[in-house]
Structure 1
């Protein structure tokens, strides 16, 4: 992983200093947490301020604190990030622990029974970070599977399996990855994650909407629980820091999601619902004061970092968080993970489907911000990887909603930012990138697109591939052929596949080709549905364009 350039913070006009000061000194307000003291600590811009905090002897923890499972992420050559969070009572604020730091031991082994230990250490669960724990373990062998676990007092966590990245320049025969997105708890079970846990994969990309800010009722929405009742504090939209933290706890108590995290290292990026539906930069969905939204964004970003296997450079400062980053897997693949929410211009003509016009086509509009755009283009120019993959959030290819000239486009996707998209397509050509694969989430359906040099000319050159992962649960059960299925296929000749069921995307890379398998489940409103492969496609190295496998 490299950082080719320094992030530029999003701009908030002449009031930027005041708004940032408000978000960083969130303890002055009661909006985002129950106590001012807790908020001031939680949003400290420095290291955890626990030098004077009490220390809890882990032997005094009387209930299993590892209720949220374990996770690993962002594998590097010879290094990996390990995560857990202590929460013996996960549905309570603070997870049922006092405001005291806790020493947590970790172990890494070559085998699942921990007979051949590769490393041991200790990390601190700080109350300021909601007792989340992360251990950045280095000095490991490159391109190797490891097993890990945590210990606190008499308690031992579930065992996780992870993998380091191959060494730089290594020739990698095959890379197996998956992409998932959009897991609305209230829309159904995370059955796709259970099947994902059983796949033989090197890593998983989560492309956003890890959680939803919407209320979850006592019966879990479409899950229709009859054997449990969720606490009333879940039945409201997430706004405060405690709200977001508790919502992550709800999601991470799901056994299927825990299984997927324990089975594979994850590379996570967000979309909108981790904060608020369809927000754009510092602009909220609804008409609320900008300083109020920045406070909410700061709370959401903090809770996101606390609950994902992310490294220290991703730790937020108030309402800002550098999430875009780059990972390499030998000479086979370069991954440029994007953030299309924090730096984007406001949606043109609202955030729905609209006719394109001068506002949406303004060349000054950006989806990723100037600094991130330069970072991506520079990364492509320097890339020596066989495949350049871009894990990101919203649909990149053009999607017309009808065949007639009065078609509409989604203003929340790259169609609402065509000049920004064209700069990237021009950058692909200028950098000589031959094997581009964009990985996308957001839209609750599976798509496979040929990326065209000019989407208005179906005969123009194909410059890459976009593979869109359907939702894990959002949208409930879905259907193989949504109502607009035939219209979309006719209106968009570069669209090669469209399926509206739930599931995940599996991609296998070799030096010769990339294979995409669209894995789907028939239902998520009841647990346990089997998984099938709806379709498979390949694109050959040096010859962009999808073909049925």
Structure 2
């Protein structure tokens, strides 16, 4: 069986036009090899309406994803039966040099999503992949395997993104992301937002605040209908983790933000976790068990970089001081308070201790560095949903970095819809204390940072000397270029999130030198 692109590609094709256009081509020619019952399948509309994706790259494998959804915003529109889906992976974008092919089942229990864990691939190389069901073929996606664990690689290019509120703006940043020369994309959470419709933005949610499994499925599907998001998924492998809005704003473990019974929230979290798995390129090891899901995991790129991907929502203790932006109460220093849970914390420490990579990347959600928003050292105002509300847990991590000294720890962070660069200090109240790492905080794809908050943050910068950079005005992503001697982060921002043709530029660039924790502006 060959799944061809019907000659639509030339050697001079542009990545953007191919990836954006392919998502809507339903009449691609195929040749079949004995598909008696399957070839007669009929759908009410194009079944690959949500595109394709790949993720969790290993040296010998990657996860390939799609979901059959001819009516994506209305439950998917699939019959309540299993459907055979064919897949193949090739060495070329025309799908002529096929190296593996197979079949998998799309089941109604998982919303007819498929997660193909392909193994036996070559390390550190590009592949192309495609799905077929009946007479319909999917867009062609592109993916890349990681380098072998102990290989020596000279460079790695990736971008990290977060916070893509559908109602607040367009995903124009992704339109530009696909033109970058990247090996992978890391998504740090708030892939969807759970809120009901809100006025004032360029587009609206398709239902009231989501609670049921059907609600969460339809909301994920809505977001995945965006052509720029589909194109970004089709262009690179993604490593994903969540934050709060995939379930409920500022939830902590089994504690919701608003007035819900714990029983009701456990059911809601189970619904949200299942829908998240169904719509992400994750391995079966992340398949939820009720309201629990294994999402923290590790990825290694040769001797150059190792990613420890954290989950700081599922296991955390409740926010102290009744949450919010306020002076810290005594609970914020509770030694039993945790962002990660003790098991994940020990997993992180052991992984960092054993790492032999030049750069040790901690990919997580909320700002790790301390930031006093008060502009007055006598008061102290902190965001206690961030690590500022979990001071003892943060001290354990920073003390570990100081004592065990894993090579070049760099934290990448989302959540706050704005751009920051921090030196990570053993004691943030003492500018002369040791710097043990660097934190790059990326702005959102489209989520809002209220403009009235910008002047107070800027006014407080002088009282937070470990903070090297802040910007709250622009949305976009962070592009990272790693070599053995330097890490460079470029803050790439779009001119507008309400203009679908917005331009992009580099707002600022910062670097970290090997063996010298802390960032400097380029």
Q: Same fold (TM over 0.5)?
A: yes
Q: CA deviation at 1:149?
A: 0.8
1:354 aligned onto 2:326: yes
CA distance in 1, matches of 2:459, 2:298: 37
Question: For 1:441, which of 402, 414, 424 is the aligned residue?
Answer: 414
Q: Which residue of 1 aligns with 2:46?
A: 64
1:428 aligned onto 2:396: no
Check whether the contact 1:480–1:499 (CA below 8 A) recurs between aligned residues: no
Q: Secondary structure at the match of 1:395?
A: coil
Mean alpha-carbon deviation: is it higher for 333-342 or for 60-69?
A: 60-69
CA distance in 2, matches of 1:365, 1:452: 20
Check whether the contact 1:434–1:463 (CA below 8 A) recurs between aligned residues: no
- The residue correspondences of 1:395-434 to structure 2 (distance < 5 A) are 395-404=367-376, 405-434=378-407
Q: Which residue of 2 aligns with 1:496?
A: 468
Q: CA deviation at 1:485?
A: 4.1
- The residue correspondences of 1:3-82 to structure 2 (distance < 5 A) are 59-82=41-64
Indicate the RMSD between aligned Cα atoms, in angstroms.
1.6
Q: CA deviation at 1:57?
A: 6.7
Q: Which residue of 1 aligns with 2:446?
A: 473
Q: CA deviation at 1:112?
A: 0.3
Question: For 2:505, which of 513, 518, 532 is the aligned residue?
Answer: 532
Check whether the contact 1:58–1:103 (CA below 8 A) recurs between aligned residues: no
TM norm structure 2: 0.90
Mean alpha-carbon deviation: is it higher for 467-476 or for 393-402?
A: 467-476
1:463-488 CA-to-partner distances (Å, cap 9, x unmatched) read 11100110000117x76992224213
Q: CA deviation at 1:522?
A: 2.0
Q: Which residue of 1 aligns with 2:154?
A: 173
Q: Secondary structure at the match of 2:475?
A: strand
Q: Which residue of 2 aligns with 1:295?
A: 267
TM norm structure 1: 0.86
Q: 1:269 to 1:58 in 2, by over 3 A?
A: farther
- The residue correspondences of 1:254-293 to structure 2 (distance < 5 A) are 254-293=226-265
Check whether the contact 1:481–1:499 (CA below 8 A) recurs between aligned residues: no
Q: Which residue of 2 aligns with 1:28?
A: none
1:523 aligned onto 2:505: no
CA distance in 1, matches of 2:310, 2:123: 25
Q: Which runs of 5+ in 1 are unaligned?
A: 1-54
CA distance in 1, matches of 2:375, 2:518: 22
CA distance in 2, matches of 1:107, 1:453: 50
Q: CA deviation at 1:224?
A: 4.7
Q: 1:132 to 1:284 in 2, by over 3 A?
A: same
1:349-406 CA-to-partner distances (Å, cap 9, x unmatched) read 1120121231111111111001000100111111111010011000000010023110
1:100 aligned onto 2:72: no
Moved over 6 A (4+): 55-58, 478-481
Check whether the contact 1:92–1:246 (CA below 8 A) recurs between aligned residues: yes
CA distance in 1, matches of 2:66, 2:132: 10
CA distance in 1, matches of 2:126, 2:59: 12
1:428-465 CA-to-partner distances (Å, cap 9, x unmatched) read 12322130110000000011111111111111111111
Q: Which residue of 1 aligns with 2:124?
A: 143
Check whether the contact 2:39–2:135 (CA below 8 A) recurs between aligned residues: no
1:80-124 CA-to-partner distances (Å, cap 9, x unmatched) read 00000000111112x111101111111111110012111111111
Q: Which residue of 1 aligns with 2:430?
A: 457
CA distance in 1, matches of 2:344, 2:482: 26
Check whether the contact 2:253–2:315 (CA below 8 A) recurs between aligned residues: yes
Q: Which runs of 5+ in 2 are unaligned?
A: 1-36
Q: 1:546 to 1:480 in 2, by over 3 A?
A: farther
1:317-338 CA-to-partner distances (Å, cap 9, x unmatched) read 0000111001100011110000
Q: How many equivalent residue pairs?
A: 484
Q: 1:481 to 1:420 in 2, by over 3 A?
A: closer
Check whether the contact 1:172–1:332 (CA below 8 A) recurs between aligned residues: yes
Q: Secondary structure at the match of 1:189?
A: coil
CA distance in 1, matches of 2:181, 2:305: 18
CA distance in 1, matches of 2:101, 2:351: 35
Q: Secondary structure at the match of 2:460?
A: helix
Q: CA deviation at 1:59?
A: 2.2
Q: Which residue of 2 aligns with 1:304?
A: 276
CA distance in 2, matches of 1:271, 1:489: 26
Q: CA deviation at 1:60?
A: 2.2
CA distance in 1, matches of 2:85, 2:202: 34
